[in-house]
Amino acid sequence: MGDAISRVTQKYFPELTDEAKTSRLDSGQLRWQNRVEWARFKLIQSGEIDGSVRGVWRMTPKGKERLQAEWSSWKPQYVEFRTGKTAERTKAEEAEEPSENPHEEIEEAHKELVAQTASELLTRIMEMRPESFEILIGELLSKIGYGSIKVTGRSGDQGIDGTCSIDKLGLYQILFQAKRWQQQVSSKEIRDFVGAMQMARVQNGIFVTTSGFSKDSFEGAQKSGNLRLVDGDELARLLIEYGLGVVTKALNLPKISEDFFSSLE
């Protein structure tokens, strides 16, 4: 299989970039290898390649007939992988492209589902009480690996919503602030939080919001050198990654086990 894929690549697709050759599916398999294998499968399915012998690519009479009829007009074409389908693409453009194999369709569908769930997560979070949101951020930090989580809430402690530490023993303290906002966080909020960190004599801080940060607030955080900003998009991604507020359903994808068949030979 590997030798055949190498020959196909070198002879008919020399323009493939290193990036295209090394791009991988979410499963870890090389995307280009998967495409060649899928094309072979479709040819076997149509009766144009004999797939009865493992590792052998032998053309059938039907395949030879098609080759003779279409070879003179056939042109190798590699379609770059798209990370999303756009409404602007015309039917003519879609017709020119080879249909994606199931692995790539599943990967693209998964990314779309993640994006949809992320949007729904933020909508649901906006319905939470502020104190519940602070607890959620504390749980997320714990999942990520921070220790000694303590949610201070609305105790009037300079706007600090909680504390945590880099280590489980609480030796290196971090302050965090959680803003369940729709408007952007301005540079003033960043300055106030940095000031609260200085008053508490804590060097590091985490500022989390459901919205975003203004350009000035980003610059202020960079100047402080010890403040990590987490906007709504990253927050939703982290919640999905660590399984907070979401449930996942396994999708069992069958694949031939060469190790199993080798053990029987």
Mean pLDDT of 172-187: 92
Contacts with 19 (C-beta within 8 Å, 6 or more apart), sequence order? none
Residue 155 pLDDT > 80 = no
Q: What is the pLDDT of residues 11-36, one digit of tens each?
A: 888 888 888 888 887 767 788 888 88
Domains parsed from the chain with CATH numbers = 2-84 (no CATH), 125-241 (3.40.1350.10)
- For 48, 103, 192, the CA distances from 108, given in Å and listed in that order, are 29, 9, 42
**β 173-179/162-165 pair status:** antiparallel
Task: Check residue 87 and give its pLDDT.
Answer: 37
For the CA atoms of 194, 200, 206, 212, the dihedral, rounded to the nearest 10 degrees, stands at -40
CA atoms of 188 and 220, how far apart (whole Å): 9
Q: What is the pLDDT of residues 49-59, one digit of tens each?
A: 887 776 677 88
Burial of 203 (0-12, 13-18, 19+ CB in 10 A): middle
DSSP string, 64-105: HHHHHHHGGG-----PPP-SS--TT--HHHHHHSPPPPHHHH
Task: Check residue 1 and give its pLDDT.
Answer: 63
Q: What one-letter code names the amino acid at 82?
A: R
CA atoms of 255 and 265, how far apart (whole Å): 19
What does the mean pLDDT of the chain come to?
82
